[in-house]
Structure 1
Amino acid sequence: MSAINELRRPRGPQRGARQQNKAAFLFLLPWFVGLFGITIGPMLASLFLSFTDYNLLQPPELSGFDNWTRMLHDERLHKSLRVTFTYVLVSIPLQLALALGLALLLDKGVRGLSFYRSVFYLPSLIGGSVAIAVLWRTVFGTDGLVNDALAIIGIQGQGWISEPGTALSTLVVLNVWTFGSPMVIFLAGLRQVPTSLYEAASVDGANRWRQFVSITLPLLTPIIFFNLVLQIIHAFQTFTQAFVVSGGRGGPADSTLFYSLYLYERGFGHFDMGYASALAWLLLIIVAVFTAINFWASKYWVFYND
């Protein structure tokens, strides 16, 4: 029996591996607690609430698919979707184009590169803050800096924030202004392009534009794809800027009624948490669909070294 027990007893390396696994699980325990307690748990709770009638004050009552069918006839929801899609489809291409253009300029060996990189990255850090949103509302107000600058050249300004036709445009400009994060990623990607390719292209007589189109842009497509996915997800979740600029109502005339702002209004303004939970899951589905489309389309325009 002693010989059998000796065979069953873990060897030294096996015992050490088990101890390492226990230590690894111990260090991962806070992450698992956060994953299930802060992420997965609330997600499952919101999924359940999306099939209930819940006003935060009384226990939820099952209502089946009422919240989901209600979306088909919710005109303000449809308006918020149009506003959000317009914001995403207009601001993201402009933001990435500006970020890539500045990255190309900074990649030319500008003196004080670290300083400019920090300055240009700063808007990405503070662009989503309440302070910047308040500043933006002031700058584009009737007596704001934009109208003061237009008055110098003899142009009569207007209340850019208070006009339905221009209110959303000011938020598009604000999102474009937060180009720092994708710019830094583009700059890192440009540093990975082999200089030998440019030298060979120059020998063949290719000008700067041809080098950009034939070398730089194809090799940057993985970086463009990465920035595109991240910025689209971020844009769909935009809330603070629209809330502060519109006073929390999405005005004027619902021209800045972003989807997340309407979701907040239904959940915490009207205490319609069941419907708000359904809206949250619809947003998740929309973002997932956009992400899936990007991944599907990437095989046609994203090129990897291998």
Structure 2
Amino acid sequence: MVKIETATGLGSGFVVKNDNGSIILTNAHVVKGNGGTLTVKDVRGNVVDAQLLAVGEGEADSSDLALIKTETEIGTPLKLSDDIETASTVYAIGSPLGQEWSISQGIISRFVTDQGLIQTDIAINPGNSGGPVLDKRGCVVGVVVSKLDPAQSEGIGFAIEPRIAERYVKENAGNQAIAIDQFSEPEETQVEQVENPDRNEAGYEVCNQSGENLSVAIAYFDTSIDSYRSEGWWNLDQSKCQFFPNLLDSVDEVYVFAESDQTLWSGDFPFCMQEDAFEYPDANRDRCPSPAYSKGFLKVEVGDAKTWTTNLTPSQ
């Protein structure tokens, strides 16, 4: 986290990349009209000058974003994550009213999906703008942007959704200039796909060869109802398999997701997930409706095979 001072005020921000200097994400309204003067201070007390890299057009909305760059590295890059739900505990860290590195705790109140914002009851004051909203893992789940008039409301603040922040950085700093396109904290690892003609019973099987106990789910498209069905969650112990008899009679693609505390097996096919149901998200929607959250499933193309095994193996 960093404190940003300009000729006209102050705000907060956080480093998204260190490479021959630091790239810092903040709000556009923090750095607009600064007269060309920007200084950045990190939690260790280091102070350096910064230059504008990109400034969005918005104010107090999801386009209220900016990037600044320093010539020397300052602060530690933070990861973004969209693995959040309504009522999740979150924290804002910034410099409200100049009080450096103040931490406020609150919850996610709701997702304002059509505006690309997250509502929170965290205490937000001038100086918090542009700072990170963090989950318990320390991942950034929002960028502080505004609050409603305290004379008319209490505890209604807003942060910009992480996927919008990610897209803004990619568009303005380039894919190679950032390190925030990984939205999952655990290490991603290996799968092995095996057509299994030796099995006597036709169907699809997931086997845990990872050496860890896993939570596993699958999904597939059911043509009889013209929609996706899901199976899971279930706990899959080490060296155990979960078998779905006759699943491949009418299915040529299966989607798999598995995770432990430290590892995940995933892919690029997104499902909106809840405790016991998943759905494929609307293509025109940036995020899943509350309380669902998005996970990337691995697509398994089984073709005409009638028996198939997906082995979840350790990372190499």
Question: Shorter chain as normaliser: what TM range?
Answer: under 0.3
Structure-2-length-normalised TM-score: 0.18
Name the structure with the higher strand share: 2
- Larger RCO, structure (CA 8 Å, separation 6 or more): 1
Structure-1-length-normalised TM-score: 0.19
The structure with the largest alpha-carbon Rg is 1
